[in-house]
Chains A and B, each alone.
Chain A
Amino acid sequence: MSKDNQGDLWEVFIQPKAGRPHKHVGSLHAYDKEMAMKSARDLYTRRQEGVGIWIVKAEEIISSQAADAESFFDPSDDKIYRHPTFYEIPDGIKHI
């Protein structure tokens, strides 16, 4: 019985410059990790987009659920004391 498919779906993350975080740029199909890495290079760095590549199988990404969005993300709405602008500093005070 012959088998034919397009391989696994992989997600590709590119680091645009040294020191910058890797950023998701897209996906591709590949059958093994060497192929996925090389395809990522051939597909997503044709225009000098990056200096580093991460690849991960799409099925191995664990994603938050849209249905959980309210309970996940809304509770941080009112915690404005986490932001520096919440605090009052007397005039003339610097370097803080």
Chain B
Amino acid sequence: MNNNLFTYCLRLGDNGLILSHRIAEYCSAGPQLEEDLAITNVGLDLLGQAESFLKYAADIKGAGTTEDDLAFKRKEKEYRCVHLTEIPNIDYAFIMARQFLMDTYNFYLFKKLCSSKDTIIAGISAKAIKEITYHLNRSSDWIVRLGQGTDESHKRIQTAFNDLWMFTDELFETDEIEKDLANQGIGVDSSSLKKDWENKIKEVFSLAGLEKPTIEKHSLAYGKFGFHTEYLGFLLAEMQHIPLLYPDAKW
């Protein structure tokens, strides 16, 4: 089994899996009916991407492993999502700020992954990049709208970015696995995405009248390496509830 590729697919898949779960939690709680529908589309896209990457990871693992086994039956430490995806839905500003930071990251990441030498990764990414382009467009709109809206919305969205900022550090953290796959032209070295990401953030922040928070490195123990926030455990307890309670059942 190709361990590096397996882990890499888990990272790509778990980000979508956990972020889409947060969006699912928000179902029927949007500020307007139209927005409820729109954000669900984002959630569905992310869930679809997660399914594709977890299926690939399951194939790599072999021995009859399925994408559902990986999605629902791993221990917390075996998940590889970044901390940013784990942050709860504090308010709509946090939801959109979290989304915008991830959308921007995903946009540059998947753009590169489209030319991966691994044809499966390239294939999933070619489909995903269209979805992500729309997500970024949509979340950018909202950041500007909230930044320029009322005093309250400005304050809320700025607070959300201030509080989430420390989690962005992890996005560009790299390790031997990534470097190995980047060298082979299969994966992307996350640190190479930072400049584009920062420029895009700067552009939207300037339109929104927001200030860029200062980076503080919050932790050396990152989600993509298997060290999570306290939030993930509760999320998983809920998500894994049925498969753990009825391990032999098929749904």
Interface residues of A (CB under 8 A from B): 6-7, 28-30, 32, 34-35, 38-39, 41-43, 46
Quick check: A39 and B34 within 8 Å, CB to CB? yes
Complex: A29 Cα to B33 Cα, angstroms: 9
Complex: A46 Cα to B37 Cα, angstroms: 10
Interface residues of B (CB under 8 A from A): 32-35, 37-38, 41, 134, 137-138, 141, 145
Please give, as numbers and ranges, the residues of chain B lying within 8 Å of A42 by CB-CB distance.
34, 37-38, 41
Complex: A29 Cα to B132 Cα, angstroms: 24
| B142 nearest in chain A by CB position | A35
B37's partner among A6, A7, A43 (CB-CB below 8 A) is A43
Complex: A11 Cα to B86 Cα, angstroms: 38
- Mostly, the B contact residues are helix
Complex: A32 Cα to B145 Cα, angstroms: 10
In the A-B complex, the 4 residue pairs with the closest CB atoms: A42-B38, A39-B34, A42-B41, A42-B37
- In the complex, 15 of the A-B residue pairs with CB atoms within 8 angstroms, ordered by the A residue number, are A6-B32, A28-B34, A29-B33, A30-B34, A32-B145, A34-B141, A35-B34, A38-B38, A38-B137, A39-B37, A39-B38, A42-B38, A43-B34, A43-B38, A46-B41
Complex: A35 Cα to B34 Cα, angstroms: 9
Quick check: B138 and A38 within 8 Å, CB to CB? yes
| B41 nearest in chain A by CB position | A42
Which one of A6, A30, A42 has the greatest number of beta carbons of chain B within 10 Å? A42
Known: A32-B145, A38-B141, A39-B38. 9 other contacts (CB 8 A): A6-B32, A7-B32, A28-B34, A34-B141, A38-B138, A39-B37, A42-B37, A42-B41, A43-B37
Quick check: A29 and B32 within 8 Å, CB to CB? yes
Please give, as numbers and ranges, the residues of chain A lying within 8 Å of B34 by CB-CB distance.
28-30, 35, 39, 42-43
Complex: A41 Cα to B131 Cα, angstroms: 13
Please give, as numbers and ranges, the residues of chain A lying within 8 Å of B33 by CB-CB distance.
29
Complex: A7 Cα to B141 Cα, angstroms: 16
Please give, as numbers and ranges, the residues of chain B lying within 8 Å of A46 by CB-CB distance.
41
B104 to chain A minimum Cβ distance, whole angstroms, is: 17
A46 to chain B minimum Cβ distance, whole angstroms, is: 7
| A3 nearest in chain B by CB position | B150
Complex: A42 Cα to B32 Cα, angstroms: 13
Q: Beyond A28-B34, A29-B32, A43-B34, is A35–B41 a contact (Cβ under 8 Å)?
A: no
Please give, as numbers and ranges, the residues of chain A lying within 8 Å of B138 by CB-CB distance.
38
B153 to chain A minimum Cβ distance, whole angstroms, is: 12
Quick check: A35 and B37 within 8 Å, CB to CB? no
A58 to chain B minimum Cβ distance, whole angstroms, is: 15
B72 to chain A minimum Cβ distance, whole angstroms, is: 27
